[in-house]
Amino acid sequence: MGQCELMYVYDKLFTEYNHTVAQMLLTGEDLESDERRTNFQNTLYRLLELGALPIVNENDTVATEEIAVGDNDTLAAIVAKCAGADLLVLLSDIDGLFTADPRKDPDARLIPLVEELTPQVYALAGEKGSDLACGGMATKLKAAKTAMENGFDMVISNGQRPEELYDIVEGVPVGTLFKSGGKH
């Protein structure tokens, strides 16, 4: 049940591509405490040195409301920050940030580049999208804020087209790029 089954699936699928996975469970407290955050970073770096792909998730069983991260978008941004990443890619059920909800407005246009998080950008977040989404665009913009404030870029792309990850890594415009000013 639970994490055991999830990691079994990750292990099975990544093994087919000759990748080793390792699970890391975190709470907000792990990221707020300097010592625990350093331990997390050291473990993360070591797993990467060993060629393992860390599968990071919030440890919901021990997290309380006061120490919970709360959503995967925020967790991803915090992990990217701790890892010293250059880029964070969040996969969504739509292509990126739009001028309006593309499911409701046929005139909605994709915004390919955001260089500043203004009140107008935040207003575009709207409500939760699909039944699979937990936080919708609002949590993605919160993650974008973390990324941009910490000197790394973030892209929101459609998870139904994972092949676009290759384009993103190559610098081909896909989805919405939140461009930071560079490493701080």
Give DSSP secondary structure letters for 12-54.
HHHHTTT-EEEEEEE-HHHHHSHHHHHHHHHHHHHHHHTTEEE
Q: What's 98's domain CATH number?
A: 3.40.1160.10
At residue 173, does pLDDT exceed 90?
Answer: yes
Please indicate, yes or no, if residue 75 is contained in any of the structural domains. no
CA distance 141 to 117: 8
CA distance 172 to 26: 33
Q: Which domain holds residue 108?
A: 86-184
**Confidence band of 14 (pLDDT split at 50, 70, 90):** very high
Q: Is the dihedral of CA 116, 120, 124, 126 positive or negative?
A: positive
In terms of average pLDDT, the best of 15-19, 66-70, 100-104 is: 15-19
Same domain, residue pair 183 and 109: yes
Please indicate, yes or no, if residue 76 is contained in any of the structural domains. no
pLDDT digits (tens, 9 = 90+) for 148-168: 999 999 999 999 999 999 999
Nearest to 114 by CA among 124, 104, 105: 124
In terms of average pLDDT, the best of 4-8, 28-32, 135-139 is: 4-8
Same domain, residue pair 13 and 57: yes
Same domain, residue pair 91 and 173: yes
pLDDT of residue 65: 55
Taking residues 76-96, what's their average pLDDT? 93
